Structure 1
Amino acid sequence: MKIFFTAEYSELELKPLYELGEVKLDGWAIGLPKMPEAELMEKTKDADILITSYDDITRNVIENAKQLKLIACTRATPVNIDIEAAREKGIPVIYTPGRNSDTTAEFTIGLMLSIARKIPMAYKALKDGKFTGADEVEKVTKEGLKVDMIWDMDENSPYMIFKGTQLKGKTLGIIGYGSIGQRVGKIARAFGMGLLIYDPFQSEIDIEEIGVEKAELLEDVMKKADFITCHMKVTPDTKGIISAKMIGLMKPTAYFINSSRGAILDEPALIEALRHKRIAGAAFDVYAKEPIAANHPYLTELDNVVVTPHIAGATDDVLVNHTRQIVSELKRFINGEKLLYEYR
């Protein structure tokens, strides 16, 4: 078996792959950028198995690889694979669902804490030299009192400017209760949050318990939740699902979090809500266009937003997970066993 491999990977977990065939590492696997189509076609023309993370596996690539028997994508959704072309050739496509679910769930909670407690804003203020004191100045404690480490107390003190809200006792609305959404909910419950779930594909029996409720309508989540987080794939049904109408239902004290996909949101409508303080704040890891534009209002104007550059799934643990999934799936494929991660 000739295995052409351009995916990011865990070196330790990849070792068993070398027992399955002749492995050729190239592209992203050795630190190079995405491979142009013509180069990929040339290098995969004799491959039996193609494993990638980000390279575009087009119809041309698939049809040119006459020996190709399997395509593997180390992502939760193989958007860079022409699935229809592979099906026409009878070539299974495998992927790695759940590989970054824990990582993304933890990051989502991090975004919630960051915007609720204004942590990045406070950090930036200190890095910019605000609220700091002179090194030589020493506070004197009055006789009879104990040392008090509080900073200045007035309307301009960091205690007042960065005053936020706690998570305990609040309601978290989770839109999309799949692998990531469920993990977010589990962590949030440990903080003492109640959950209000919107997911038409999950039944009440599978969701509801003390402190966890299923909402029949998306509007109910938008109206009632103190924090709203989205965990959906982009489909015709979910594109723009968080519309201007839905945003208009949110509490003025509510926060919106998105670490799934920018396309599920009416971004201009949310910008207007933030601009006019119709909601308390928002935190994003994904955007309508990526990379985010340098002149985007999130960066240049709004002070009630936390933004990160689409890194929710970026941990070394994810590489371990998807490498292990792919290698075990290849073993099943070679042994003629049922595949667990075939994309349908």
Structure 2
Amino acid sequence: MKIFFTAEYNQEQLKPLFEMGEVTLDGWATGLPKMPEAELMKKTKDADMLIVSYDEVTRNVIENAEKLKLIACTRSTPVNVDIKAAREKGIPVIYTPGRNSDSTAEFTIGLMLSIARNIPMSYKALKEGKFTGTAEDKKITKDGLIVDMIWDMDEHSPYIIFKGTELKGKTLGIVGYGSIGRRVGKIARAYGMELLIYDPFLCEIDIEEIGIQKAKSLVELMKDADFISCHMKVSPETKGIISREMIDLMKPTAYFINSSRGAILDEAALIDALREKRIAGAAFDVYATEPLAINHPYIGELDNVVITPHIAGATDDVLLNHTKQLVSDVRRFINGEKLLYEYR
């Protein structure tokens, strides 16, 4: 069994795969860039299995690999695999759902805290030398008082400029209550937040408990939530679901968070809302186009937004998780057992 492997992986968890076949590590798995189609076609012509993370498994690749029996993609959705072409040849495609759910959920809470408390903005200011003193500066405490270690208190103080808001007691609106959305909600509840959930594919009895309520509509959630966090895959139903009309419903004190996919949002409308200060702020890990253009308003213009370069799922733990998943399913495939993670 020839296994061509270009995925990210956990070295310890991958060891059993070498007992299942002749494994060739190449491409991203060896620190190289994403492999061009022509190169992937050439190198997989005689492969029985193809395991990738980001390489594009196109129809050309699939049809050229005449011995191919299984395709594995170590992502929560195998968007870089031509599923239709694979099915036409009877080749199952396995993937790794939930591999980065905890990492993304934790990162989402980090984005919320960052924008609510202006953490990146205050960090940047200090690194630029603002609000700082000299090594010779000494505070003199008057008789009868205890030493008070604070910055100077006036209208220019960082205490005033970077004053934010707590998460405790606020309503978090979660749009999409799947694997990641539920984890975000669980962490947010520990912070003392109330949850308002919009997910048309779940019944109230699957969601509601003390402190957690299902919104009757997306309109209700957009109007009532103090923080709005999106956790949806892109589909015809979700593309552009956070529209200009939805954004216009948000409170002026509300924050918008997106660590799912940029396509679910009308980015131009959100930029207008931030520019005109019609909402308090936003935090993003994903965008309409990636990478962000150097002249994007998020980078050079807006000061009420926190941005990161699509890294919510970038942890070593994710590699461990998806390596376990794919090795488990490859073993099941070889043994003729029902696959746990076949994409349907």
Q: What is the TM-score with the length of structure 1 in the denominator?
A: 1.00
Distance 2:138 2:215 in 1: 56
Residue 75 of structure 1 corresponds to 75
Residue 211 of structure 2 corresponds to 211
Distance 1:106 1:97 in 2: 17
Residue 111 of structure 1 corresponds to 111
Give deviations 1:310-336, integer Å, cap 9, x for gaps. Answer: 000000000000001000010111111
For 1:251, the aligned partner's letter is: K
Give deviations 1:240-263, integer Å, cap 9, x for gaps. Answer: 000000000000000000000001
Residue 199 of structure 1 corresponds to 199
Runs of 4 or more consecutive aligned structure 1 residues displaced over 2 Å after TM superposition: none
Counterpart secondary structure, 1:228: strand
- Equivalenced residue count is 344
Identity rate of aligned residues, in percent?
81
For 1:208, the aligned partner's letter is: E
Residue 333 of structure 1 corresponds to 333
Distance 2:292 2:216 in 1: 34
CA shift, 1:157, in A, is 0.1
Distance 2:273 2:55 in 1: 38
Distance 1:189 1:262 in 2: 26
For 1:117, the aligned partner's letter is: R
CA shift, 1:19, in A, is 0.6
Counterpart secondary structure, 2:131: coil
Residue 59 of structure 2 corresponds to 59
Alignment gaps of 5+ in structure 2: none
CA shift, 1:137, in A, is 1.3
Distance 2:342 2:306 in 1: 36
Give deviations 1:182-223, integer Å, cap 9, x for gaps. Answer: 000000000000000000011101100000000120000000
CA shift, 1:39, in A, is 1.0
Counterpart secondary structure, 1:205: helix
Distance 1:144 1:36 in 2: 73
Residue 168, structure 1, aligned to residue 197, structure 2 = no
For 2:147, the aligned partner's letter is: V
Residue 3 of structure 2 corresponds to 3
CA shift, 1:59, in A, is 0.6
Give deviations 1:250-302, integer Å, cap 9, x for gaps. Answer: 00000000000001000110101000100000000000100001000111111
Aligned residue runs from structure 1 range 263-342, under 5 A: 263-342=263-342
Alignment gaps of 5+ in structure 1: none
Counterpart secondary structure, 1:252: coil
Residue 152, structure 1, aligned to residue 126, structure 2 = no
Distance 1:284 1:37 in 2: 31
Residue 18 of structure 2 corresponds to 18
Distance 2:118 2:32 in 1: 37
Residue 222, structure 1, aligned to residue 211, structure 2 = no
* C-alpha RMSD over aligned residues: 0.5
Distance 1:262 1:168 in 2: 28
Residue 30 of structure 2 corresponds to 30
For 1:9, the aligned partner's letter is: Y
Counterpart secondary structure, 1:80: coil
Distance 2:137 2:243 in 1: 53
CA shift, 1:174, in A, is 0.1
CA shift, 1:35, in A, is 1.1
Counterpart secondary structure, 1:197: strand
Counterpart secondary structure, 1:195: strand
